[in-house]
Amino acid sequence: MAADPHALFEDWLAEARAAEPNDPEAMALATADAQGRPSVRMVLLKGHDERGFAFYTNSQSRKGGEIAANPRAALAFHWKSLRRQIRIEGRIEPTSEAEADAYFATRSRDARLGAWASDQSRPLDSRAAFEARYAKTVAEHEGRDVSRPTYWWGYRLVPDRIEFWTDRPHRLHERRLFTLSESGWSEGLLYP
């Protein structure tokens, strides 16, 4: 048994980075709207520490709207080659502006321009319309730095439940559940 699920997560992520051929930081993000209708999509983990699990997106996107309406969410990492997954549940809070600015600056210029050109999750008449809008955005920013749009933000899932799942023969899997209380993290096991 381990006392710190964040340290265990880091160990598993390091193994996934060494073993997974594509995007070991890919995670399913499940959100729900104000009526409780769920939706899920893949996003990339862009930071992890004892505060939680950070990702970045357009706050005016579907996921951004759902987070604003219902700031509870779940993440799932699945590393098929390792036969492991991690499920994480908790509340969502925004990162600081400084964190969002710092991460945005690490993105390629084309990705930063894309954040300006895209009305993420909104209806699009045609791919050609988006490409024309992107070209216009490129021209407007020629010779200038591409700063972070005010609607492009970072979010952090602050966990209160983390489950580590390991495949075992005959579907007799191992499930380790960490739950957070006022006194800290506690660990227990779940039936497969």
The residues annotated with a catalytic role in the active site are 171
Sequence-distant (6+) residues with CB within 8 A of 158 are 51, 52, 90, 91, 92, 93
Task: Using alpha carbons only, give the angle 140, 94, 134 rounded to the nearest 5 degrees.
Answer: 20
Q: Which residue has the tokens 């036969």?
A: 83
Q: Which H helix or E strand runs over 75?
A: strand 72-79
Sign of CA dihedral 94, 95, 101, 106: negative
